[in-house]
Structure 1
Amino acid sequence: MIYPQNFEQKIGFTQIKQLLAGKCLSSLGKERVEEMTFSDNYADINRRLEQTVEFMRILQEENEFPSQYFFDVRPSLKRIRVEGMYMDEQEVFDLRRSLETIRDIVRFLQVTDDTEDEPSSPYPYLWELAGDVLVFPQLIARINDILDKFGKVKDNASAELLRIRRELSATTGSISRSLNSILRAAQAEGYVDKDVTPTMRDGRLVIPVAPGMKRKIRGIVHDESATGKTVFIEPTEVVEANNRIRELEGEERREIIRILTEFSAVVRPQVPALLQSYEFLAEIDFIRSKALFSIEIKAVKPAFENRQTIDWFEAIHPLLQISLAKHGKKVVPLDIVLTPRQRILLISGPNAGGKSVCLKTVGLLQYMLQCGMPVPMNERSHAGIFSNLFIDIGDEQSIEDDLSTYSSHLTNMKIMMKNCDARSLILIDEFGGGTEPQIGGAIAEAVLKRFNAKQTFGVITTHYQNLKHFAEDHEGVVNGAMLYDRHEMRALFQLQIGNPGSSFAVEIARKIGLPEEVIADASEIVGSEYIQSDKYLQDIVRDKRYWETKRQNIRKREKQMEDTISRYEQEIAELERSRKEILKKAKEDAERLLQESNAKIENTIRTIKETQAEKERTRQARQELNDFRRQMEDESKAALEEKIAKKMEKLREKQERKKEKKAQRQTASSAQPAEPKVLPIEVGTYVRIKGQTSTGQVLEINGKNAVVMFGLMKTNVKTERLERTEAPKQPSLSTKTSFVSNETQDQMYEKKLNFKQDIDVRGMRGDEAIQAVTYFIDDAILVGMNRVRILHGTGNGILRTLIRQYLATVPGVAHFQDEHVQFGGAGITVVDLK
């Protein structure tokens, strides 16, 4: 249960929804955002949280997630369920692209492990969501047979359409030739200007003629220009051919409709399954928007438990965080704990000290969590689940219902007492306010007693002293205070649980400049005992804050000591391990040496026996061998000790070097970085386009332009778009040479996909048009286009002349000419690129 109905608006969740909707790719996701609801089902909430966390990983770690073409074609699919209805070209085009997106998403989520028979995925919750979603490969193939890559019906979509378009092309060519012949004759006679070309009016090819010469050419006047200086005549010789074109265009439209109707009939039986796949696309769009928002506010999934608990560290109100970040400020994090022994937190403290923000933070984060959204807090936090959320905040005065502010608060209290239980969370701001303080405080205490008896969880703000005393005397209710710096007279916006807070009324009144005699009079009215108790309360809070800071510092020092001790213990263990390894190796070397010595001794004895030497001689030989053995043992022991000493010395030197390097890094990090020297770009220097990774070499510089060789490609680039870089490393002979990096290839592929083959420079000044065409031609050469079109209009022909003069100087331009008269004639220049 959520109470009241405008709960989302009161805690700010409505704004969260607006931010989420702004991150959706289509109306599919926006609908899901609007439908997002509170849940108290643990498994459902946990699943939604895990889906969002997995998508956060995708956004942070992956670059290839299919996020294009999230089209909502559901209205079109629902419309064609009626027999005879059909989808138009654009709708079929959107259907194809969105189905390809659904297919690519399913493939992305499914990663097959060669060692297993079943497909596995690094994103199990999202893969479970994909489940049995159909991807319709046959339907995509059928659309590919009908539409080209630009979404237009192909010529060979049917034999009849191919025949119509071929005849249309032939007829158009015939008209063009006839018009050009008539136009040349008229130009020779002086009826028409030399630079005039045929144009289109109402779908018919006509010749522009001055009004005074319109009777010189036999034909039909179709239109005149806005200024009245030009009339458009359709010569008699081409009237029939133009009529035939109109007929063919009608036949073409009817054939396209027939093809689309036939295709829609194929789609019709599959509409239910298609709609189910688009529900999956909507869910993906929705989860993606939640993941993007979670990354923006640095949200996490805390330890989520199927019980009633709030144990949050460094919790932050996301809307307040976004608002303060715009002004370069930071939110003071909230630490709050509600347990079965301390279920209701009673927060007191000065006005504008953050009590209401604390209450709204608890309400908003708990609601976000139970809507399946990660929340901005420390990941070691623990969060629980509540079945009912109630809030009473703000002025609920209603003229229509004849309710005062206090009556409205009491109505809310009645509903809360009736419906709350041990699985409920209540949020009340200014508990008991709005009426005479003494009776208001008494009623508030009686209501609080009922809440506590029902073992309800809650966060309540108040100024009443009797409620603070109630919290001290009853288990289940605990005091909390919003801290205030009495010396600097400013709120610290920090919650401290365990002691009530002072309202600091006297101090605040003195700070804003209320006359001292007024403050003294007020203190006398309320009584010295109250003033003293408030002062003692302030001192207790101050002392607690002081000792809390001390305790935190001590814990911090202890942690540092533990880390230091642990590090030294690891170093000692490493030294001991190294020492044992050295001893072991030395003993092995000594043992080997002794074995060699023993072998020598035995050989000597065998030699003595074989030569049958005298006993005295044998005894002397054995004595010499024993002396040699002892000498070898002494030398081995000395060598062993010397080797161990050297090894230990090397280890100590290594530790000293590590410490010196660490100190140098700390010194370097504290020093201000030197301002880098910007070197000029010259011929022969290696450069790259800002924001790009490919390295090229400057061949020549012409004013503000530079000719740069990128791999095997020569390009004109503004010098201001370039930055110097190091020369590329020469690949070894054993390495396959690659002139263009994978990242650059990806960027070029993306640029090629988005590149438009037409540019419109009409209305531009000459220098603006030349600059635009320069960039356009450079980009066309880069992406490997064979042909592009420049729309400059006819006019006086100045812009056309300038552009063609420039094109004649570009090495990458193979040829340029007027467009076909049907498609613009001399008003468009067609450029063929090498």
Structure 2
Amino acid sequence: MIMNKKTLKKLEYNKITELLAEQASSPGGKILCSHLAPMTSLAEITTAQEQTAAAFTRIVKKGRLSFSGVYTVEDSLMRLEIGGALGCNELLRICKLLEVTNRAKAYGRHETVDEEQDCLDVYFDQLEPLSILAGEIRRCIIDEDEISDDASSTLKHIRRSISQTNDKVHSTLLSLVNGSLRTYLQDAIITMRGDRYCLPVKAEYRSQVQGMIHDQSSTGSTLFIEPMAVVKLNNDLKELYGKEQEEIQVILANLSADAAGYVTEIRRNYKLLTELDFIFAKGSFALSLNASKPIFNDHGYIHIREGRHPLLDKKKVVPITVTLGDAFDLLIVTGPNTGGKTVSLKTVGLFTLMGQAGLHIPALDRSELALFHEVYADIGDEQSIEQSLSTFSSHMTNIVSFLQHVDEHSLVLFDELGAGTDPTEGAALATSILSYLHERKIRTMATTHYSELKVYALSTPGVENACCEFDVETLRPTYHLLIGIPGKSNAFAISSKLGLPDYIIADAKERLSEQDESFEDLLADLENSRRTIEKEQQEIAAYKREVEALKQKLEQKQERLDERKERIINEANEKANAILREAKEVADETMKNFRKFGKENISAAEMERERERLRQKIKKTGSGVKLDTKKPKKQHKPSDFKLGEAVKVLSLNLTGTVSSLPNAKGDLFVQMGILRSQVNISDLEIIDEPVITGKHLQKTSSGKMKMKKTMSVRPEINLLGKTVDEAIAELDKYLDDAYMSHISPVRIVHGKGTGALRSGIHNYLKRQKHVKSYRLGAFGEGDAGVTIVEFK
């Protein structure tokens, strides 16, 4: 453990543990939080970080788990171990502990079997709620001062007798108050003296009322007498109350005996709940800080990404990004006072302590921390009046004390190293101290005003400058930490803004050496360059966002165009199919009429009228559609066309196969489904087809066959509402098309219904050689209403 208590105090680590303790809900958990200390074992740190992360995740998913009611019961358990009996309060504490155990056990269960396990399961699995014992205690004890009537049948009988005896006492006394003794009483009331019922009798009528005197008023005018008629009843009551207490002791003894059998489980439950309260306090603390799990390494590399000091106002704190231990092991931070140098220094030190204590750090994900065995910090004013030490002496005393113990596993933090003495000597001393640590490869971060240290950082490999940005225009620090750029003191600029006369500032500048002045000018140029680069980076980032937005819009527009194109093509295909159906009907009607004209003696005039009617009908149909008469992409020669060649008829926007070779005019017949038409080769376009081999396809002489790879073959066919014969006919063609298009698997939607259609389809599939397997759809695929088919 890191035992340097002075460092813990300087970095305000104790305030972190105080905030952590506020997140715990049990006294034991708060103690563990208060005593939390950084660790030096990487395995222990990793385990603690994983526990914090698991608690954080559970809190986000399920909410916070309260451990209120988990009080130490060790004294009670020790009494049980030696056979003692517990009181109501002690048994209730055990009961509350077991109830919290039961609640925690339920919280720890995973909602589903597949839910990911975490490192806290081992804690929840060991909890023993002892529900029967807790239920028995809760049944018998209502609160700390009251035992339930149902705790035992004997107690219930005693209390019923007490109630009945009380009723008799009251009825007897009431009859006396309202009857023969009314004139002798000071007031017509029933009162209690001790545990006896009495009546307030006037002193002068003492002899008229038979009974025992228990008390008198301060004036002596009233005597409190227990009438003889209720003495026996009061005696019976006193005896019953005694029996009640005896039975209560028996009940408590029995409950204590039951609890004594589970001392080990109860003690383990308390320990586990206390540790869980501590772990969940760490998770809640991480949630309140919006913190993340740091990545630890043992080679001294620190990379904090936008870290926020946890003790500063979350709304005002400016995140810092710090790197140390990779390209350089010494970081020198410069800049004006109140610029955030000390905060940056404390942030690095405090994050190291928090991380090694198993706490998440308020920084972005993938922040890295190094494992250190010691952290040494010289921060703040160490002046001691009692020891008659100056500020410089006290700082140097502190530095000397830990320079004797530092090693390569240490982190050293200096605030204003070398301050409080002559600047020249202080700068030289500071340079020597830092050089010594740098040569030993000890990770060090220091803040300073000295220009000599800026030069040292610029000229020494493995040493880097950093500065806290300062806005001269507003005279306000921005608190941004900039690594790689030394900071300016800005003394002249600040003084000028505050109203110091220009002639004084000019005189001061003249007193600067030429080397100092040129160095300050160099820093100013670096600062201006940095601002320019940052501005350009912001512009580039804005352009990237704009390009990304335009890209998304273009993709969305292209998707809409594709959808529109597909819709138009589908509508055109439907329209063409309708025209073909109408043409077929006209052709069928014409053939029927010709056959009728041949059998009957029809006049030529009537035949001409019929032909004119058909011509008008065809003309009307043709005028309702505009065909795409695009020219083919490539002019084909007659020799290009072969029987069976797949072609597209551009004027009809239909595909078919060549059924005859071209004649001298370039005309040939094309089979388009049921339609066979003569077309000129200028209206045709040959469709390129991939050549495939099929294991179960009919082969040509070369063992190959051509197929049309069409994009219109869908991975699903819908046969809902069809008869078995209709469905099989449609399915047969669809399976051939899907198989030749290499689509596998495919879905056949047939619905559940009576099951006849499904059975017919399955019987058909059994006989298909190119079907590898088929099955009903699983949950999410359509269940029994869908069959999934895979091809060989």
Q: How many residues align?
A: 626
1:285, distance to aligned residue in structure 2 (A): 2.1
Q: Secondary structure at the match of 2:174?
A: helix
Residue 31 of structure 1 pairs with residue 17 of structure 2:
no
Normalising by structure 1, we get a TM-score of 0.65
Match of 2:185 among 188, 191, 202: 191
Task: Give the partner amino acid of 2:161.
Answer: E
Partner of 1:4: 4
Match of 1:465 among 445, 451, 472: 451
Partner of 2:721: none
Residue 14 of structure 1 pairs with residue 25 of structure 2:
no
Q: Secondary structure at the match of 1:7?
A: helix
CA contact (8 A) 1:80 1:264 kept: no
Residue 267 of structure 1 pairs with residue 266 of structure 2:
no
Bigger radius of gyration: 2
Q: Secondary structure at the match of 2:147?
A: coil
Partner of 1:430: 416
Alignment of 1:346-361 (within 5 A): 346-361=332-347
Partner of 2:471: 485
Q: Sort the Cα spacing of 1:244 and 1:523 in 2 relative to 1 into closer, same or farther, 3 A.
A: farther
Q: Secondary structure at the match of 1:599?
A: helix
CA contact (8 A) 1:73 1:95 kept: no
Match of 1:368 among 340, 354, 359: 354
CA contact (8 A) 1:597 1:629 kept: no
Task: Give the partner amino acid of 2:88.
Answer: E
Task: Give the partner amino acid of 1:547.
Answer: T
CA distance in 1: counterparts of 2:66 and 2:33, whole angstroms = 18
Task: Give the partner amino acid of 2:467.
Answer: A
Q: Sort the Cα spacing of 1:617 and 1:560 in 2 relative to 1 into closer, same or farther, 3 A.
A: farther
1:461, distance to aligned residue in structure 2 (A): 0.9
CA distance in 1: counterparts of 2:595 and 2:358, whole angstroms = 96
Residue 90 of structure 1 pairs with residue 76 of structure 2:
no
Task: Give the partner amino acid of 2:554.
Answer: E
Partner of 1:147: 141
CA contact (8 A) 1:413 1:447 kept: no
CA contact (8 A) 1:347 1:461 kept: yes
Q: Sort the Cα spacing of 1:206 and 1:314 in 2 relative to 1 into closer, same or farther, 3 A.
A: farther
Q: Secondary structure at the match of 1:345?
A: strand
CA distance in 1: counterparts of 2:549 and 2:34, whole angstroms = 53
Partner of 2:240: 248
CA distance in 2: counterparts of 1:101 and 1:283, whole angstroms = 14
Q: Sort the Cα spacing of 1:139 and 1:391 in 2 relative to 1 into closer, same or farther, 3 A.
A: same
1:290, distance to aligned residue in structure 2 (A): 3.0
Q: Sort the Cα spacing of 1:142 and 1:418 in 2 relative to 1 into closer, same or farther, 3 A.
A: same
CA contact (8 A) 1:29 1:285 kept: yes
Task: Give the partner amino acid of 1:297.
Answer: L
The Cα offsets for residues 737-789 of structure 1, whole Å up to 9 and x where unpaired, read as xxxxxxxxxxxxxxxxxxxxxxxxxxxxxxxxxxxxxxxxxxxxxxxxxxxxx
Q: Secondary structure at the match of 2:473?
A: coil
CA distance in 2: counterparts of 1:245 and 1:145, whole angstroms = 26
Partner of 2:549: 564
CA distance in 1: counterparts of 2:363 and 2:445, whole angstroms = 18
1:78, distance to aligned residue in structure 2 (A): 3.4
Task: Give the partner amino acid of 2:183.
Answer: E
CA distance in 2: counterparts of 1:230 and 1:37, whole angstroms = 72
Q: Sort the Cα spacing of 1:69 and 1:483 in 2 relative to 1 into closer, same or farther, 3 A.
A: closer
Partner of 1:651: none
CA contact (8 A) 1:502 1:534 kept: no
Q: Secondary structure at the match of 2:347?
A: helix
Task: Give the partner amino acid of 1:25.
Answer: S
Q: Sort the Cα spacing of 1:601 and 1:47 in 2 relative to 1 into closer, same or farther, 3 A.
A: farther
Residue 78 of structure 1 pairs with residue 70 of structure 2:
no
Task: Give the partner amino acid of 2:132.
Answer: Q
1:360, distance to aligned residue in structure 2 (A): 1.3
1:629, distance to aligned residue in structure 2 (A): 7.2
CA distance in 2: counterparts of 1:363 and 1:47, whole angstroms = 21
1:585, distance to aligned residue in structure 2 (A): 1.4
Q: Sort the Cα spacing of 1:571 and 1:212 in 2 relative to 1 into closer, same or farther, 3 A.
A: farther
Alignment of 1:293-442 (within 5 A): 293-301=285-293, 308-321=300-313, 330-379=316-365, 381-383=367-369, 385-397=371-383, 405-406=391-392, 408-410=394-396, 412-414=398-400, 416-417=402-403, 419-421=405-407, 423-442=409-428
1:96, distance to aligned residue in structure 2 (A): 1.6
Partner of 1:592: 577
CA distance in 2: counterparts of 1:347 and 1:153, whole angstroms = 70
Residue 129 of structure 1 pairs with residue 115 of structure 2:
no
Match of 1:500 among 483, 486, 500: 486
The Cα offsets for residues 159-211 of structure 1, whole Å up to 9 and x where unpaired, read as 443343333333333333333334334873162335xx434454444445678
Task: Give the partner amino acid of 1:71.
Answer: V
Task: Give the partner amino acid of 2:77.
Answer: K
CA contact (8 A) 1:523 1:531 kept: no
The Cα offsets for residues 474-515 of structure 1, whole Å up to 9 and x where unpaired, read as 232211111222233222222111111122334455666778
CA contact (8 A) 1:187 1:193 kept: no
Q: Sort the Cα spacing of 1:231 and 1:35 in 2 relative to 1 into closer, same or farther, 3 A.
A: farther
CA distance in 2: counterparts of 1:225 and 1:506, whole angstroms = 93
Q: Secondary structure at the match of 2:329?
A: strand
Q: Sort the Cα spacing of 1:205 and 1:523 in 2 relative to 1 into closer, same or farther, 3 A.
A: farther
Structure with greater helix share of residues: 1
Task: Give the partner amino acid of 2:158.
Answer: I
Q: Sort the Cα spacing of 1:515 and 1:566 in 2 relative to 1 into closer, same or farther, 3 A.
A: closer
1:99, distance to aligned residue in structure 2 (A): 0.8
478-487 or 441-450, larger mean C-alpha shift? 441-450
1:72, distance to aligned residue in structure 2 (A): 0.9
Q: Sort the Cα spacing of 1:503 and 1:132 in 2 relative to 1 into closer, same or farther, 3 A.
A: same
Alignment of 1:97-176 (within 5 A): 97-113=96-112, 119=113, 121=115, 124-148=118-142, 152-176=146-170
Task: Give the partner amino acid of 1:491.
Answer: P
Q: Secondary structure at the match of 1:38?
A: coil
Partner of 1:281: 273
CA distance in 2: counterparts of 1:471 and 1:210, whole angstroms = 105
600-609 or 361-370, larger mean C-alpha shift? 600-609
Task: Give the partner amino acid of 1:132.
Answer: Q
1:274, distance to aligned residue in structure 2 (A): 1.4
Q: Secondary structure at the match of 1:321?
A: coil
Partner of 1:826: none
Task: Give the partner amino acid of 1:92.
Answer: L
Task: Give the partner amino acid of 2:542.
Answer: R
Q: Sort the Cα spacing of 1:469 and 1:152 in 2 relative to 1 into closer, same or farther, 3 A.
A: same
